[in-house]
């Protein structure tokens, strides 16, 4: 998204092309997606081809007749290819290895009737995320002329590239797909990252000397880059322009990125009244690595060897040094730079140096953001096996990686493995008529093989390599040959169904007791008799006496066995439940995270020094447990050595020990997160099957007891000074380790202390989904809030541990402070600081209706405070945290109405991939605040909190609860229904009547706009919390200025970003425009994003009047 300093914002990108006749273009591939015939474009001379040979799925839409309009409406955007069936559909483009390519996609929705609900899908290059394409009829009918273009630059490392469309909501589609090969010298600078495993995604490209008019492209640019006039994107302050059309002025041969002459012969220049050139950009998503280039070339006849144009370029970013240089007749792109952005904005200033009489000049500019090329892929052996299995099934082609960016429709992958492994093959009811290829046996991690209800023929191949199978369903096929009896002995197999086939043979082995085995309706395979025999139902010839004796003897023996089994199973069940509970907690990031894979590289609980070892590694490190150096109540201790030569102590659990899984988990969990020079260091652990091993640093002098008269009595006795030093050291470790999570401010209380602090739970001050809240008081007189878990609550031990672990390590003035906890038997209690003014919901029309309504300033302050708390969780916490239950009742207010976010029981550690990335998890939260994208996809992102916060903002503005509320007009409904009814014409009716006269209309409109952007259906369209807080601070300072706080000259509210966007709007002259575009600038509501737009209903913003583009 572009931040505007000044100047108008003109429409969207119009594909204006030069009509020049050319011949076929080497290095070009231009696919008109949905076209039925090849052709040559009359405007550019570019040869366009159909999809055939590049994609095997999808259907063509009937082309729409081009009537009227502009000659810029190209032929290739008048038809589409839709993909109504698969989750992933890929185009395969041929490339040359180690060559640089531009990839461009174009999307134009031909008929709004093609979508009923919101349409969105993701675009990937191989497995690397590119962008999201969205159309939302609920926010205004999509214009038939909306064209969206995205560009990427990639260095191909293979002979093909897959461009994949992955379904989100509705059917993906595409209008055009283009491949342009670049010269090897282009974009080869180190800063591009193209030669170090990164891609470039275009943010914008400018022709700086051309304010309006047609964009420059092929054939003026031999590589067919689009160079639009700078005013189309409206994010540069260009005081004047200079055009060098003098016929005698010869531009030198271009080099580097080969900017076309037609672009370089114009330039943006400063003027005497406005000498500087200002650039300003902002992005909705956090751009980690930003790459920008500004091109300079002297085209002024007044510039001579003695009258040189000297320029300073100053990037306003941290301590970035200014760059001074002279503009010459050669192209200069020394200003190219690449750096990490600490926020989502970028700005730069071009000024002349004091010794120069000529004002600054710039001819062109490009801005990209860099992203790592994803290394995600499927295991090579699995991928090869799947290709053979696919051929055996006679399935249609499935291009792209089997597992990434989404799995083939008949494959399930385990993405926790890298590379990914195939865990399930499912072709049930695919009506396949082929054979089961023996290559299926190479899928060694396969757990489910579901091939039922097809027309498969041939024999069942050898499946002995599939040792992890749980389910095999081959019923209702035409399989023949001998039944593979070894399948009955696969230890892991739980279900095997081969019924209704043509198998033959006889069973000689009984299936395992846990195996659900079906083999009916195989005419040549009579398995019923042997199965009956296995179940003890077959006949026999023994006498009555033998039978009676056998029965009673058997019953007596059986009774003994049953008793033993019950005792054994009871013990095992207790151990299993303990392990399951502990591991369940670990999966939520609370306790032991038993998922690490490498010996020293895997992180445990966020601590890089705690590794998970395998049993084989433990054996190797101890040389097969060669040297025993100690024995304790837990088990034996052995000497070991790491690959680095560092000695270690390896403590192995003894099955006869009274200590077990709980003590093991406790030890790992505590020592992996507390570190002190006087506490022994845990280096790692091993937990496999029933074996638990702890790996410590080696302490060469044994233990204190051994030196005070134990095993080491013959050694020199310890001196008095040494004894004192040992006492001091061990004493220092004690108080440090006694606090939970290593945090000295988080105390552990006993149940007796809790009763005393609350005066036996005398005063109840609240009730939530977790349980009741009671008022308490510490011995210091400080009031506390004590939340006691209700046994009937749906929240439990996981939420309790989550809350304790999170709040004991995050501290911020706008997050409620956890003072301690109690965890005894089945009781879980949380102790917080007391917030004297309850929660925000109570002051907006809930339990505290009789109190004075909150003022507008107080509401803004509360929104800012709570926003800052969430911003801290999303950005500054390590690891970052998604709250997952943001709502007005979870925003608590202290005596001074300072707001603090509370209730972290459902919180999750955030993903590493930035604000747009997510984690798959079960949907939890509160109705009315659910992010609809999270609800539909079960993929949680930081923007899920943003959606919930948007609902809270609407509550703050209106005072109306989000769900089943009595609305201001007397009807019953939801807050969103109320807001939607007001938006077209009555936006200010949303505001609570209790704050009438306390705000300026422009500010209120701006806050409502912000709230609406937060609840955009697609998460990529929402701002992040940092942007939200900064906008709220701006509007608060606008209505309630504070002299000591400097006012920001421009807004940082940036709801969007990506590559290049085009929007050709048409409106009815008698009615309002179909859409307005929400801008990143404070006062500009029509700025065009580079790949997609946030739209708000026409008439919403008074600040946007007059900015709607007509037909």
Beta bridge partners of 841: none
Binding residues: 787
Find the distance separating the first CA and the last CA of the chain, reported in whole Å. 24
Burial of 1033 (0-12, 13-18, 19+ CB in 10 A): middle
| Pairing status of strand 99-108 against strand 176-181 | antiparallel
CB atoms < 10 A from the CB of 697, how many?
13
Q: Any residues with CB less than 8 A from the CB of 454 and at least 6 apart, and which?
A: 427, 428, 429, 430, 431, 432, 433, 476, 477
- Residues at the binding site for ATP are 787
On whether the CB atoms of residues 481 and 460 are closer than 8 A, the answer is: yes
3-class SS string, 789-852:
ECCCCCCCHHHHHHHHHHHCCCCCCCECCEEEEEEECCEEEEEEECCCCCEHHHHCCCCCCCCC
CA 896/CA 632 separation, integer angstroms = 56
The token duo for 119 is 């349409």
The tokens describing 133, both together, are 């394409």
Note the Cα 371 to chain centre separation in Å: 14
Q: Which residue has the tokens 């009031």?
A: 783
Burial readout 630-644 (b: 16 or more C-beta within 10 A, e: otherwise) = beeebbebbbbebee
Is residue 219 reached through a cis peptide bond, with omega within 30 degrees of 0 on the bond before it? yes
Sign for the CA dihedral angle at 900, 906, 909, 912 comes to negative
The per-residue b/e assignment along 251-288, b for 16 or more CB within 10 angstroms, e otherwise, is: beebebbbbbbbbbbbbbbbeeeeebbbbbbbbbbbbe
Residue 442, number of CB atoms within 10 A of its CB: 19
As a whole number of angstroms, the distance between CA 156 and CA 199 comes to 10
149: β partners: 106
Structure tokens at 355: 């010794």
Q: How many other C-beta atoms can be found within 10 angstroms of the C-beta atom of residue 242? A: 16
DSSP state letter for 876: I
Write out the two tokens for 903.
């209730």
Cβ–Cβ < 8 Å for 954, 938: no
Calpha distance 384→372 (Å, rounded): 26
E strand or H helix that includes residue 469: none
The SS3 of residue 723 is: helix
């Amino acid at each position: 998204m572009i931040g505007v300093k000044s100047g108008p914002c003109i429409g969207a990108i119009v594909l204006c092309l030069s009509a020049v006749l050319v011949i076929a273009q080497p290095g070009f591939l231009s696919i008109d997606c949905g076209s039925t015939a090849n052709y040559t474009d009359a405007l550019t001379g570019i040869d366009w081809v159909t999809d055939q040979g590049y994609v095997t799925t999808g259907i063509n839409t009937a082309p729409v007749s081009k009537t009227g309009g502009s000659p810029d409406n190209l032929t290739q955007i008048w038809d589409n290819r839709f993909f109504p069936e698969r989750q992933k559909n890929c185009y395969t483009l041929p490339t040359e290895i180690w060559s640089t390519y531009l990839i461009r996609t174009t999307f134009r929705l031909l008929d709004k009737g093609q979508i009923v609900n919101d349409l969105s899908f993701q675009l990937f290059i191989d497995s690397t995320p590119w962008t999201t394409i969205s159309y939302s009829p609920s926010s205004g009918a999509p214009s038939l002329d909306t064209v969206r273009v995205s560009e990427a630059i990639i260095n191909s490392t293979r002979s093909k590239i897959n461009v994949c469309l992955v379904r989100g909501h509705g059917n993906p589609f595409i209008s055009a797909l283009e491949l342009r090969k670049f010269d090897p010298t282009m974009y080869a600078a180190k800063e591009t990252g193209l030669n170090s495993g990164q891609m470039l995604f275009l943010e914008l490209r400018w022709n700086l000397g051309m304010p309006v008019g047609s964009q420059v492209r092929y054939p003026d640019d031999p590589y067919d880059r689009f160079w639009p006039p700078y005013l189309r994107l409206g994010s540069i302050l260009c005081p004047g322009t200079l055009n060098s059309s003098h016929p005698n002025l010869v531009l030198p041969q271009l080099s580097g990125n080969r900017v076309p002459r037609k672009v370089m012969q114009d330039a943006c220049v400063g003027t005497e009244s406005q000498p500087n050139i200002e650039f300003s950009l902002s992005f909705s998503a956090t751009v980690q690595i930003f790459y920008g280039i500004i091109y300079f070339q002297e085209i002024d006849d007044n510039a001579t060897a003695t009258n040189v144009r000297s320029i300073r370029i100053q990037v306003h970013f941290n301590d970035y040094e200014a760059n001074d240089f002279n503009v010459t007749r050669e192209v200069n792109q020394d200003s190219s730079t690449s750096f990490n952005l600490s926020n989502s904005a970028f700005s730069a200033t071009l000024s002349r140096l004091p010794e120069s009489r000529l004002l600054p000049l710039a001819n062109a500019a490009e801005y990209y953001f860099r992203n790592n090329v994803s290394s995600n892929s499927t295991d090579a052996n699995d991928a090869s096996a799947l290709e053979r299995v696919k051929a055996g099934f006679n399935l249609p082609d499935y291009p792209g990686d089997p597992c990434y960016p989404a799995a083939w429709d008949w494959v399930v992958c385990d993405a926790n493995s890298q590379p990914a492994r195939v865990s399930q093959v499912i072709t049930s009811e695919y009506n396949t008529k082929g054979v089961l290829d023996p290559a299926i046996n190479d899928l060694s991690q396969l757990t489910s093989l579901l091939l039922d209800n097809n027309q498969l023929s041939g024999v069942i191949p050898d499946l002995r390599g599939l040792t992890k199978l749980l389910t095999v369903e081959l019923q209702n096929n035409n399989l023949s040959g001998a039944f593979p009896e070894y399948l009955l002995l696969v230890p892991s197999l739980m279900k095997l169904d081969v019924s209704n086939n043509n198998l033959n043979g006889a069973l000689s082995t009984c299936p395992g007791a846990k195996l659900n085995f079906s083999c009916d309706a195989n005419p040549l395979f009579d398995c019923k008799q042997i199965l009956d025999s296995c179940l003890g139902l077959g006949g026999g010839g023994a006498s009555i006496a033998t039978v009676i004796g056998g029965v009673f003897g058997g019953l007596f023996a059986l009774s003994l066995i049953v008793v033993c089994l019950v005792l054994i199973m009871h013990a095992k069940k207790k151990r299993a439940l303990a392990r399951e509970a502990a591991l369940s907690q670990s999966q939520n990031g609370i306790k032991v995270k038993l998922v690490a894979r490498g010996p020293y590289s895997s992180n445990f609980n966020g601590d890089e020094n705690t590794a998970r070892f395998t049993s084989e590694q433990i054996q190797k490190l101890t040389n097969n447990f060669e040297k025993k150096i100690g024995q304790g109540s837990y088990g034996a201790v052995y000497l070991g050595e790491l690959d680095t030569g560092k000695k270690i102590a390896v403590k192995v659990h003894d099955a006869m020990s009274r200590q077990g899984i709980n003590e093991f988990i406790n030890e790992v969990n505590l020592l992996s997160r507390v570190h002190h020079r006087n506490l022994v260091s845990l280096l790692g652990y091993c937990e496999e099957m029933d074996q638990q091993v702890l790996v410590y640093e080696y302490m060469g002098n044994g233990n204190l007891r051994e030196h005070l008269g134990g095993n080491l009595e013959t050694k020199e006795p310890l001196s008095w000074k040494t004894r004192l030093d040992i006492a001091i050291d061990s004493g220092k470790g004690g108080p440090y380790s006694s606090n939970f999570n290593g945090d000295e401010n988080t105390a552990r209380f006993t149940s007796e202390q809790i009763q005393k602090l609350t005066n036996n739970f005398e005063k109840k001050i609240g009730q939530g989904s977790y349980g009741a809240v009671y008022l308490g008081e510490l011995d210091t007189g400080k009031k506390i809030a004590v939340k006691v878990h209700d046994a009937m609550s749906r929240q439990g031990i996981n939420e309790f541990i989550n809350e304790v672990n999170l709040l004991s390590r995050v501290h911020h003035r706008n997050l409620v402070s956890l003072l301690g906890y109690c965890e005894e038997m089945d009781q879980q209690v949380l102790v917080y600081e007391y917030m004297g003014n309850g929660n925000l919901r109570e002051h907006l029309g809930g339990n505290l209706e009789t109190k004075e309504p909150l003022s507008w300033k107080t509401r803004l302050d509360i929104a800012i405070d709570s926003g800052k708390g969430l911003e801290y969780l999303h950005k500054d916490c390590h690891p970052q945290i998604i709250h997952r239950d943001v709502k007005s009742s979870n925003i608590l207010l202290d005596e001074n109405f300072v707001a603090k976010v509370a209730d972290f029981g459902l919180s999750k550690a955030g993903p590493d991939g930035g604000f747009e990335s997510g984690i798959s998890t079960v949907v939890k939260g509160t109705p009315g605040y659910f992010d609809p994208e999270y609800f539909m996809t079960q993929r949680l992102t930081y923007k899920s909190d943003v959606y919930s916060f948007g609902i809270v903002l609407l509550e703050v503005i209106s005072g109306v609860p989000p769900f089943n509320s009595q609305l201001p007009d007397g009807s019953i409904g939801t807050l969103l229904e109320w807001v939607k009814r007001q938006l077209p014409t009555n936006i200010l009716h949303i505001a609570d009547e209790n704050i009438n006269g306390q705000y300026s209309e422009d500010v209120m409109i701006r806050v409502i706009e912000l709230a609406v952007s937060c609840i955009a259906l697609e998460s990529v369209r929402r701002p992040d919390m940092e942007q939200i807080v900064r906008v709220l601070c701006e509007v608060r300072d606008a209505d309630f200025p504070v002299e000591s706080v400097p006012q920001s000259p421009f807004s940082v509210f940036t709801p969007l970003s990506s590559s290049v966007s085009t929007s050709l709007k048409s409106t009815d002259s008698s009615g309002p425009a179909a859409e307005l575009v929400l801008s990143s600038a404070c006062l500009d509501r029509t700025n065009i994003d580079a790949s997609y737009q946030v739209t708000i209903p026409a008439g919403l913003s008074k600040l946007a009047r007059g900015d709607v583009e007509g037909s």
